Amino acid sequence: MSASSKSRKEAPVPEPLDFRKLAGAPMTGQVLAVAFGLLVLFQCMILPVVGKAAMGGSGSPGAGPAEWAGKNQAFFLIMLLVTLATGAAAFYSKWLRRRLDGSPFPVATAGGLVLTAGLLLAFAAGLLKI
């Protein structure tokens, strides 16, 4: 062997990115859970745009739904689906972490996810217009 081949170091081969390890990282779960909490808060703030006042009008004779009620419902549904997706990702990340290191069950995230799913069911059933 020549001296030049001995001094040349082989380039380290990077490990393949392990999705479960990345998703189960504590920081990932916390960031997703905080984003989920903020989205739930925003969802509660925009709830009146699809509620009784928006869909039934002001209560005066001849009053009806606002002319942009359909756009409000579409926006509310899109944001509700984004909130649910973020909550599901947060729960999955925390569940993976629980399997990896035995952390406690994510009760708050699971509870928020159940409440958001209930809000989706109420919206789909038309119960928010009552």
More confident residue, 21 or 96: 96
Residue 61 lies in a domain: no
Residue 90 lies in a domain: yes
Give 4-65 as a 3 state SS string: HHHHCCCCCCCCCCCHHHHHCCHHHHHHHHHHHHHHHHHHHHCHHHHCHHHHHCCCCCCCCC
In 3D space, the residue among 80, 82, 93 whose CA is nearest the CA of residue 32 turns out to be: 93
Give the model's pLDDT for residue 114.
96
More confident residue, 99 or 9: 99
pLDDT digits (tens, 9 = 90+) for 89-104: 999 999 988 988 888 9
- Cβ(51)–Cβ(129) below 8 Å: yes
Number of structural domains the chain divides into: 1
Residue 75 lies in a domain: yes
Residue 115 lies in a domain: yes
Residue 20 lies in a domain: no
- Cβ(121)–Cβ(75) below 8 Å: no
Give the model's pLDDT for residue 111.
95
- Show the domain range for 48: 25-56+66-129
pTM beyond 0.75? yes
pLDDT digits (tens, 9 = 90+) for 33-86: 999 999 999 999 999 888 877 777 666 666 677 788 889 899 999 999 999 999
Give the model's pLDDT for residue 12.
74
Q: What share of the chain is helix, strand, coil (3-state, %, to 5)?
A: 70, 0, 30
Q: How far apart (Å, rounded) are the C-alpha atoms in residues 87 and 28?
A: 12
Residue 87 lies in a domain: yes
Residue 3 lies in a domain: no
Residue 84 lies in a domain: yes
